[in-house]
């Protein structure tokens, strides 16, 4: 048989084999998706049977958030400080893995556990007529996106987000004076780009619902209704290792708010 015909036959066999594998994998994924959807629906009915009312559209369809880690990056911190203060900035090690970056406009300080603060000359950081928007723009200039949670006469509470999801434990208070930003008081912000952590995995939606109901009961509380579920992250930092981002649900109920760790299934009260 001529080589050209034999080559065409081999290519056809490979093509058919790849198509069969694609159909097989696609069929398995579809079957897994159907099983997860059925498990979710059955679990919703189960917790309703245990006296917890919930609208099905409040329950996420899937676990979209994955565990992440962030390595501390001193160069990134310096760039973040310079984005607020303007260049150049002077870097100063203050011991204990604390670094301060400063120039005549003020200083920005970072700690290894994510603690973050700043002292500023308010005349250099005018906020304009809409100080909420002014504060958000200053933070975004630093690469720190987020929302304003609360506002008082002279301060705003800023909570950071990452890819549109709240970082529940990353909040700072922004103090305003004389029409400008005067300081950012001790709180926590996440600086750097998170990377997915392949060593940790989230539980299923069905398991999360069961763990939540059981966890609330284990706390000695009674929950009769789930009013909302907000997906986000909490962070934990160590002196020598990376910052760990754990996906969680913030579950609001008729008796209060709870945090569900979607890796371990642990439940705690409030935030």
- Which tokens go with 68? 């992440």
In the chain (271 residues long), the average pLDDT of successive 10-residue segments reads 57 64 58 67 91 93 94 94 95 94 96 93 95 95 95 95 95 95 92 93 95 95 94 86 94 95 94 66
Instruction: Tell me the CA distances in angstroms from 221 to 44, 236, 250, 254, one per residue in order.
Output: 20, 27, 16, 11
Half-sphere exposure of 222 (CA within 13 A, CB side): 2
Mean model confidence pLDDT for the chain: 89
Kindly report the number of other CB atoms within 10 A of residue 28's CB atom.
Answer: 10
Between the two ends of the chain, the Cα-to-Cα distance in Å is: 74
- Which tokens go with 219? 């706390």
How confident is the model at residue 200, as a pLDDT? 95
The whole-model pTM stands at 0.83
How confident is the model at residue 226, as a pLDDT? 96
How confident is the model at residue 241, as a pLDDT? 78
How confident is the model at residue 15, as a pLDDT? 66
Q: Which of 180, 193, 163 is CA-nearest to residue 76?
A: 193
């Amino acid at each position: 048989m001529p080589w050209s015909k034999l080559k065409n036959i081999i290519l056809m066999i490979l093509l058919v084999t790849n198509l069969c594998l694609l159909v097989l994998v696609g069929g398995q994924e579809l079957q897994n998706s159907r099983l997860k959807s059925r498990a979710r629906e059955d679990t919703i009915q189960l917790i309703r049977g245990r006296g917890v009312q919930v609208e099905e559209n409040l329950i996420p369809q899937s676990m979209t958030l994955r565990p992440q880690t962030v390595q501390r990056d001193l160069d990134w911190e310096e760039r973040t400080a310079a984005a607020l203060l303007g260049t150049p900035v002077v870097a100063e090690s203050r011991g204990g893995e604390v670094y301060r970056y400063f120039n005549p406009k003020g200083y920005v300080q970072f700690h290894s556990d994510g603690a973050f603060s700043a002292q500023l000359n308010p005349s250099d950081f005018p906020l304009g007529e809409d100080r909420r928007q002014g504060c958000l723009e200053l933070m975004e200039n630093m690469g720190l996106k987020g929302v304003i949670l609360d506002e008082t006469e002279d301060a705003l509470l800023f909570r950071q987000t990452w890819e549109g999801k709240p970082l529940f434990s990353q909040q700072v208070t922004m103090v305003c004076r004389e029409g400008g930003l005067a300081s950012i008081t001790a709180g926590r912000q996440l600086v750097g780009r998170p990377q997915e952590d392949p060593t940790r995995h989230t539980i299923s939606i069905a398991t999360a619902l069961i763990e939540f109901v059981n966890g609330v009961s284990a706390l000695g509380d009674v929950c009769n209704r789930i009013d909302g579920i907000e997906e986000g992250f909490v962070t934990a930092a160590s002196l020598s290792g990376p910052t760990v981002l754990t996906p969680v649900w913030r579950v609001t109920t008729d008796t209060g708010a709870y945090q569900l760790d979607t890796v371990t299934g642990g439940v705690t009260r409030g935030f």
